[in-house]
Amino acid sequence: NEVGQLIQYKSVNTVTDDPEAYLNDLCDQVIINQSLIYVGSICAIFNIPLLFIFLSCNSFRERFLLLITLACADLLNCISIVAQGTHKSAFFLEVISTSLMPIKTPFDCAGELWLMLRDIGGLWAPMIQVIMGAERMLAVFKPASYNRTYSVRSISPVLFSILFVIANLSAAIHVGWTNREHKVKFYCGRKSAFGDNYGTYIYV
């Protein structure tokens, strides 16, 4: 077990000349990530009544499908923020208490649930907003086409947004798999898991 632990973990002393200051910095990270739990929870609380209003009325469900999807995506994004705060704060506390950091690969990071949720939340809602903006442009410049294809558009944009997220996640996981022999920062992140290019793409 001790040998396995040496393979999987490394001491804080191996990455810094001042372990005490390094661990103090991690304490600050704990506070920051714990605050994310509250921020995400508050945002989720605001989303739940909105979803309830949309889903409780049959006419709303038929007419505002894209808005309902956006509300679902926003709720998922809020949940992902809570998951990130919960996971990282607990993770940093463990490192602080043991002074040991796990050695991870991009594929290890890609498999963490909180990171997958953050990725979905970072992709889905913005794509729906892009689609809504495109629809508004179509309504202004091509009103006849907009009205003629309304019933089809109500379903197809939602399906397109879901396929967009699935395609991007698949590409991200593939990047993590191809780089599985590399070592990354122990606390993971999108750039660590999926590469610098993909991480920049998500943030932009």
The residue-averaged pLDDT of 167-178 equals: 89
Rg (CA), the chain: 21
- H-state helical runs in 2-155: 2-8, 19-56, 58-63, 65-98, 106-110, 113-141, 143-148, 150-153
pLDDT in the model for residue 200: 74
Question: Is the pLDDT reported for residue 81 higher than 90?
Answer: yes
Q: Count of alpha carbons within 13 Å of 162, Cβ hemisphere only? A: 8
pTM: 0.83
pLDDT band at 151 (very low <50, low <70, confident <90, very high): low
Q: Give the pair of three-digit tokens for residue 88.
A: 């990282």
Tens digits of residue pLDDT in 105-137? 888 888 889 999 999 998 999 999 999 898 888
